[in-house]
Amino acid sequence: MLDLLASRSGHFLLESGHHGNLWLDLDTLFWQPADLAPLVQDLTERVRGLEPQVVCGPLVGGALLGYQVAERLGLPFVPAERQDVEAGPLYAARYSLPLTLRRRLPGRRVVVVDDVINAGSAVRATLAAVTLSGGKPVGIAALLRLGEAILSHAATAGLPVETLSVQDNSLWAPADCPLCARGVALQTL
């Protein structure tokens, strides 16, 4: 899967509010759908065991992937859209579900699918939106997990995390960032 992604090293501000030294250009993942198809099928089989009734994915990449997983499982799909949130504390991002689909979630088992999970900001916010809508999260799935940041949140929520690949990665709260301490400027994307 890493062959399908373009990456850059540097000093980046992530959606979660963390600083990191790796940036993945996730849009490249979807350039050739046929190249992604075997990975989507493998992830679908891992998700099947969670016995979801609905698949939900954060826009954009998670929704594109989640839609494909839902199609293969013959299940409904719900996208989660990021809401404007001012920069602030870690994990300040908020996602919401379309009202017409939100009303269909109460009592249903929902798996949240994302393309890549780093700090887990999009997944955490999507899980919150699903729960607020009355859905019952049953798991988290992604093609790639960077580091271990999502694992403690998933464990607290009692949710399994299914991934095809794991890569080590470093994230720092802004106050603890060694790159900031060395005076390395944040890069704009």
Query: DSSP secondary structure string, 54-107?
Result: EEEEETTHHHHHHHHHHHHHT--EEEEEEEP--S-STT--EEE--HHHHTT-TT
Give pLDDT, residue 84.
76
pLDDT mean across residues, the chain: 94
- Label residue 175 exposed, middle or buried (CB < 10 Å: 0-12, 13-18, 19+): exposed
**Between 149-157 and 121-132, two packed helices, what is the crossing angle to 10 degrees?**
20
pLDDT in tens, 72-130: 999 999 999 999 777 778 899 999 999 999 999 999 999 999 999 999 999 999 999 99
Sequence-distant (≥ 6) Cβ neighbours of residue 14 within 8 angstroms: 20, 118, 119, 121, 171
pTM: 0.94
Q: What is the pLDDT, as a whole number, of residue 103?
A: 95
Where do the structural domains in the chain lie, given as residue ranges? 37-168
Question: Is the predicted pLDDT of residue 1 greater than 90, yes or no?
Answer: no
Cβ contact 144:116 at 8 Å: yes
Nearest to 135 by CA among 100, 102, 99, 98: 102
Q: 37-168 has which fold?
A: Rossmann fold (3.40.50)
Per-position DSSP letters for 7-72, written without gaps between them: EEEEEEE-TTS-EEEEEEEGGGGGS-HHHHHHHHHHHHHHHHTT--SEEEEETTHHHHHHHHHHHH
What pLDDT is stored for residue 154 in this prediction?
A: 96
Give me 96's structure tokens.
């919401």
Average pLDDT score over residue span 49-55: 98
What is the pLDDT at residue 3? Answer: 74
Residue 146 amino acid letter: L
**78: closest CA among 142, 135, 157?**
135
Q: What is the pLDDT of residues 22-51, one digit of tens each?
A: 999 888 889 899 999 999 999 999 999 999
Q: What pLDDT does residue 6 have?
A: 85
**What amino acid occupies position 24?**
L
Q: What is the largest CA-CA distance in the chain?
A: 51
Confidence of residue 61 (pLDDT cuts 50, 70, 90): very high
Mean pLDDT on 63-75: 98
Stretch 57-63: mean pLDDT: 95
Predicted local distance difference test score (pLDDT) of residue 28: 87
